[in-house]
Amino acid sequence: MHTADENPGQFSAEPPRTEAQIHFIRLPSIAERKLGPDYVAPVRLDPRILDQMQQTIRDLAAKYAETLTVQIDTLFALIGPACMEDSEARARLYALVHDIRGLAGTFGHAIAGRFANSLCLYMETSAAIDSTILRFHIEAMRDALLNPEQNDVLAAETLRSLERLIQTARREERYFG
């Protein structure tokens, strides 16, 4: 076997010898196999950054309780106009409830978020809205805010009662037209 250095212009037919041929084979993760090729693995963060993020969320949670109090007071003020076919008041009431549904759990008020979710679903599926249903949901949100140590069993029972109230209102609406 001759190399190009030994005989310029002549090359060996054999490939040059190497110690080892290395091939990297990337195996898909379990998540990629289950979720498909568009899956993007989460970025792993430095634990110090995670600690900072968690502290920021705790700081924001304290401020959010104040914001939630103002939002709940605003909801109470919007009940009358929203039930009197004021579409702007209804839209504003729904937007506030929707915000509470999305943010309350993040900042430690999951139960208020569950009540807000129930109210959102009611408003999304009802042409006319009942002031009693609005008021009871908003009172439940306020109670959850004022009593953060509230028992999950009590909250679940309150939610079931609100759902029964909605079902009764729907039956009456169908019956009385």
Whether residue 34 lies inside any domain: the answer is no
Q: Is there a domain that residue 80 lies in? A: yes
Please indicate, yes or no, if residue 9 is contained in any of the structural domains: no
Helices 110-124, 131-146: crossing angle, 10 deg rounding: 170
The answer as to whether 48 is a domain residue is no
- Helix, strand counts (H, E) of the chain: 6, 0
- If one counts the domains in the chain, the total is 1
Which one has a higher pLDDT value, 86 or 10?
86
Q: What are the backbone dihedrals phi and psi of residue 26, each rounded to the nearest 5 degrees, phi first?
A: -90, 120
Mean local confidence (pLDDT), 108-118: 94
Specify if 111 maps to a domain. yes
101 neighbors 146 (Cβ within 8 angstroms): no
Is residue 171 in some structural domain?
A: yes
Instruction: Identify which has the larger pLDDT, 83 or 9.
Output: 83
Digit-coded pLDDT (tens) for 50-65: 888 888 888 888 899 9
**pTM assigned to the model:** 0.69
Which residues lie closer than 8 Å to 119 by C-beta, 6 or more apart?
Answer: 97, 133, 134, 137, 138
Whether residue 49 lies inside any domain: the answer is no
Distance CA 28, CA 70 (A): 49
Range of the domain at 79: 64-176
Percent of the chain exceeding pLDDT 90 equals 51
**The domain spanning residue 87 has which CATH number?**
1.20.120.160
Structural domain includes residue 16: no
